Amino acid sequence: MQQLMAGSSVPTIESVIPSLPVHRIALDLNWYLQLVRNRCCVGEGGGHECGELLSHLDYNDILLIMSSKYFNLSLLPQAFRLGLNMTLQVNSHSHDTSSVDTADSEGSSVNEVSEPPLLSASKAVLLQQINSVVSEIPKGLLVFNP
């Protein structure tokens, strides 16, 4: 603070915030979940930002946030896209053909690639939304036969 008062150079972040070893920083999951909810549900978070925030959570937490009635559904396409990109990156890094089975005993194709939780949750929420819309469509009209 005296450096600022004296008009000398701008202080560095190290002089203002005491440095802590990384291993001593405690991560608070509840705080992070609240941050993600604020940005993705009630905040003005952009699609890419919210997708990145969600991608650091596990499947159940992502699904809990994305299934909330307050979740901004306009963020769903970006979360889906980010999940697909993450899958493609994982696949491009592991071109080991020995980990991929081509067929099981019934002859169906089996792929051993794991899916990022963000993509799985995005697909589940998309299917929930489609199911909700389909359930609102009136059932077929029946002809009255007296």
Amino acid in position 98: S
The percentage of residues in the chain with a pLDDT greater than 90, rounded to a whole number, is 44
Which alpha helices (DSSP H) does 23-116 contain, by range? 29-37, 47-55, 59-66, 76-93
Which one is predicted more confidently, 39 or 138?
39
The pLDDT tens digits of the residues spanning 18-70 come to: 666 666 666 788 999 999 999 999 877 788 999 999 999 999 999 999 999 99
Judge whether 144 lies within some domain: no
Judge whether 107 lies within some domain: no
Phi, psi torsion values for 54, nearest 5 degrees: -65, -35
Give which of 96, 137, 127 is closest to 113, Cα–Cα. 96
Judge whether 26 lies within some domain: no
Domain count of the fold of the chain: 1
Judge whether 1 lies within some domain: no
Torsion angle in degrees (nearest 10) through CA of 79, 36, 129, 47: -40
CA distance 79 to 119: 7
Judge whether 84 lies within some domain: yes
Judge whether 54 lies within some domain: yes
What is the domain range of residue 48? Answer: 32-91+113-131
Are 118 and 54 a contacting pair, CB within 8 Å? Answer: yes
Judge whether 146 lies within some domain: no
Look up the pTM and report it.
Answer: 0.66
Judge whether 73 lies within some domain: yes
Q: In the structure, what pLDDT confidence band is assigned to residue 93 with cuts at 50, 70 and 90?
A: confident
Lowest mean pLDDT among 57-71, 72-86, 100-114, 120-134: 100-114
Phi, psi torsion values for 45, nearest 5 degrees: -65, 140
Cβ-proximal residues to 52 (8 Å cutoff; 6+ apart), any chain = 82
